[in-house]
């Protein structure tokens, strides 16, 4: 840490400097646990997590549960309540666990964020109080945004309950909501206090949400880890048929690749324009919006990966065989590589999908930076995308479907 002080004196006072360079860094750290039965009376993991920074006060905690989880596992609310009441000498609930909307609608505009923030104020949550969020990526994005704003940031413990949230959305440093016709138009960077991936929650997922998150695993495998890509392709049918042991491996590896990238990639808060973890996402975000969220995030990402991989094949960045493996892997897991909304055109014949490129450029800060695979397990960046090649890739994907 340093401050560039101008020590020249004239009348005994420091000379007024025209610039005083301020520089400091702040270290962030948070554990990501992999477990089962987080609210079981026998597990002391959550208690240890809340005690991570020590202190002898009784921790004040508010638990928020995704309505999809509350419906699929109605016992969750009571289990959470019992967990805290049996530890009342060390931690206390600020109020009864509250159910929040889940799914993309949860992060549609300010309404839920505002309601949650007002509730936190009514409960007198302070900067050292804990918010425990149990839910999918959408609900956690919305809750994380609210939590990062109240008192400029409360302590958030994420307990992600979908495959996608456990391997990607829930383990990182971003949150947000949709507004202005765009995914994640509003959001903040706010590392969590801790993350607890509890695999037991996954049993109640719909098939769509079970395989959806695997698209994010393909995303990181294709550009960062050839061995993991091989594993995903080999295990595709087991993944599809809900083999829990295989899914655990997929989630652990994918989460660690994300965490390593955030820590070691040199740009955890995305100040620059390169965004490798957004491989396949310029189109997927557009597909979600164009389909009015009929196509869920994971499925849209699978289509986006197939599209950009075909494009990369046309540019000779990957071979035809690589492309075939990517498509076989995705479809083997039950993920799509095509949706009819891709064909939508404006009255003057332009693909509506292409708006996604412009929106992505704005989101990055001016320069377009699209990550493409360059061989399996590595990547490169391109700064513009050729419309003719995109049209050809779409035509190829349509035939494949
Ligand atoms: N912050 C990030 O870094 C980041 C990264 C990737 C994706 N995301 C966001 O995550 C969102 C997608 O999240 P998602 O794929 O987890 O889906 P989701 O949160 O939209 O949940 C999908 C559905 O599953 C339900 N659900 C959740 N857990 C359940 C369970 N255990 N059993 C039964 N039903 C359950 C939800 O109520 C919802 O209806 C998108 O909005 C995406 O933009 C954020
Ligand atoms: Zn994603």
* Dist. CA 290–CA 353, nearest whole Å: 8
The greatest distance separating any two alpha carbons of the chain, rounded to the nearest whole angstrom, comes to: 80
- Among protein residues, the one whose CA lies closest to atom 23 of ligand 1: 103
pTM > 0.75: yes
Residue 201 to residue 124: CA distance in whole angstroms: 30
Which residues 6+ apart lie within 8 Å of 314 measured at CB?
389, 392, 393
Separation of CA 388 and ligand 1 centre (Å): 34
Q: Residue 321 Cα, ligand 2 centroid: separation in angstroms?
A: 25
* Partners of residue 177 on adjacent β-strands: 186
| Best residue among 30, 38, 77, 138 to mutate for probing ligand 1, ranked by most atoms within 8 Å of CB | 138
**Which of 73, 79, 102, 208 should be mutated for ligand 1, with most atoms under 8 A from CB?**
102
Q: What is the atom index within ligand 1 of the atom nearest the CA of 136?
A: 19
Question: Which residue is closest in CA terms to ligand 1's atom 5?
Answer: 169
**Non-local CB neighbours of 79 within 8 Å, separated by 6+ positions:** 39, 40
Using DSSP's 3-state secondary structure scheme, residue 236 falls into: helix
β-bridge partners, 92: 60
Rg (CA), the chain: 23
CA distance 213 to 169: 9
CA distance 349 to 346: 5
Tally of CB atoms within 10 A around 289: 21
What is the signed CA dihedral for 128, 129, 135, 140, rounded to 10 degrees? -50
Ligand 1 centroid vs 141 CA: distance in angstroms? 9
Which residues' Cβ are closer than 6 Å to ligand 1? 66-69, 72, 102-104, 107, 135-139, 141, 161-162, 164-165, 168-169, 172, 174-175, 183-184, 201, 204-205, 209, 212, 297-298
Work out which ligand 1 atom sits closest to the CA atom of 202: 31
Structure tokens at 347: 């009255």
Q: Which of 32, 38, 68, 201 to mutate to test the pocket of ligand 1 (most atoms within 8 A of CB)?
A: 68
Tell me how far CA of residue 15 lies from CA of 4, 7, 22, in angstroms.
13, 7, 17
Predicted confidence pLDDT, tens digits, the chain (401 residues): 555 555 555 677 777 789 999 999 999 999 999 999 999 999 999 999 999 998 788 999 999 999 999 999 999 999 999 999 999 999 999 999 999 999 999 999 999 999 999 999 999 999 999 999 999 999 999 999 999 999 999 999 999 999 999 999 999 999 999 999 888 999 999 999 999 999 999 999 999 999 999 999 999 999 999 999 999 999 999 999 999 999 999 999 999 999 999 999 888 998 887 788 899 999 999 999 999 999 999 999 999 999 999 999 999 999 999 999 999 999 999 999 999 999 999 999 999 999 888 888 888 887 899 999 999 999 999 999 999 999 999 999 999 97
Give 162 Cα–ligand 2 centroid separation in angstroms.
13
Closest ligand to the CA of 217: 2
Cα 392 off chain centre by: 30
Count of CB atoms within 10 A of residue 285's CB? Answer: 23
Pairing of strands 177-179, 182-186: antiparallel
Q: What is the best residue among 165, 281, 288, 305 to mutate for testing ligand 1's pocket, by most ligand atoms within 8 Å of CB?
A: 165
Are the C-beta atoms of residues 357 and 385 closer than 8 Å to each other?
yes
Q: Whose CA is nearest to atom 27 of ligand 1?
A: 136
Where are the alpha helices (H) located in 86-194, listed in sequence order? 111-122, 137-149, 163-164
């Amino acid at each position: 840490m340093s401050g560039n002080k101008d020590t020249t004196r004239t009348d005994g006072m420091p000379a007024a400097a025209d610039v005083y360079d301020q520089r400091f860094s702040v270290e962030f750290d948070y554990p990501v646990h992999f477990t089962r039965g987080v609210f079981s009376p026998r597990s002391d993991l959550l208690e240890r997590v809340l005690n991570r920074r020590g202190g002898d006060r009784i921790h004040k905690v508010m638990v928020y549960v995704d309505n999809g989880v509350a419906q699929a596992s109605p016992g969750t609310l009571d289990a959470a309540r019992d967990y805290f009441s049996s530890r009342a000498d060390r931690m206390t609930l600020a109020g009864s666990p509250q159910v929040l909307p889940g799914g993309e609608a949860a992060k549609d505009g300010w309404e839920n964020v505002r309601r949650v923030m007002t509730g936190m104020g009514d409960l007198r949550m302070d900067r050292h109080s804990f918010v425990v969020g149990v839910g999918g990526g959408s609900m956690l994005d919305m809750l994380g945004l609210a939590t990062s704003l109240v008192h400029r940031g409360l302590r958030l413990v994420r307990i992600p309950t979908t495959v996608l949230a456990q391997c990607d959305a829930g383990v990182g440093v971003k949150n947000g909501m949709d507004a202005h016709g765009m995914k994640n138009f509003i959001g903040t960077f706010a590392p969590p206090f801790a993350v607890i991936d509890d695999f037991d929650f996954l049993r109640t997922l719909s098939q769509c949400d079970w395989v959806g998150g695997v698209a994010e695993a393909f995303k990181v495998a294709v550009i960062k880890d050839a061995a993991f890509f091989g594993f995903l392709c080999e295990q595709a049918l087991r993944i599809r048929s809900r083999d829990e042991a295989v899914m655990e491996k997929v989630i652990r590896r994918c989460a660690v690749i994300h965490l390593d990238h955030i820590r070691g990639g040199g740009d955890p808060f995305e100040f620059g324009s390169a965004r490798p973890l957004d491989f396949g996402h310029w189109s997927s975000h557009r597909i979600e919006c164009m389909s009015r969220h009929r196509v869920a995030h994971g499925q849209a990402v699978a289509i986006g990966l197939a599209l950009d991989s075909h494009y990369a094949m046309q540019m000779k960045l990957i071979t035809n065989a690589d492309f075939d493996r990517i498509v076989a892997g995705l479809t083997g897991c039950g993920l799509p590589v095509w949706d009819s909304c891709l064909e939508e055109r404006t009255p003057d014949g332009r693909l509506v999908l292409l708006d996604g490129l412009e929106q992505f450029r704005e989101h990055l800060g001016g320069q377009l930076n699209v990550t493409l695979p360059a061989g399996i397990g590595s990547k490169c960046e391109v700064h513009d995308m050729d419309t003719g090649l995109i049209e050809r890739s779409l035509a190829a994907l349509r035939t494949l479907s």
